[in-house]
Amino acid sequence: MYVSVKFREGDSRTYTYTCDLERAPEIGEAVLVETKDGTKVVYVAALDQPEPSFPCKPIIGIAPPKEPKEGTEAEAAQ
């Protein structure tokens, strides 16, 4: 399956990656990809895209959940 991703949630530009994970990601979900600068977290913009005319890198996994920052509601609730 081919998936469009964005490097930041508000970006308008998308990039196409292949996805052969056991569980398909959902739109808006954070996934991991390899870039020239190392592993990056990107956000799924669209699923089941047509095969592009250029080679694509794979999505390597679903991103782990973000750790809450200090002073957030999660800490205040404890």
**Residue 60: predicted pLDDT:** 97
The DSSP symbol for 58 reads B
Q: Which contiguous run of DSSP H or E holds residue 37?
A: none
Per-residue b/e over 31-48, b at no fewer than 16 CB within 10 Å? Answer: bebeeeeeeeebbbbeee
- Strands 2-6 and 30-35, by their bridges, are unpaired
**Residue 16: predicted pLDDT:** 97
Tens of pLDDT, residues 32-51: 999 999 999 999 999 999 99
**Residue 68: predicted pLDDT:** 74
- What average pLDDT does the structure give for the chain? 90
Question: Does residue 78 surpass a pLDDT of 80?
Answer: no
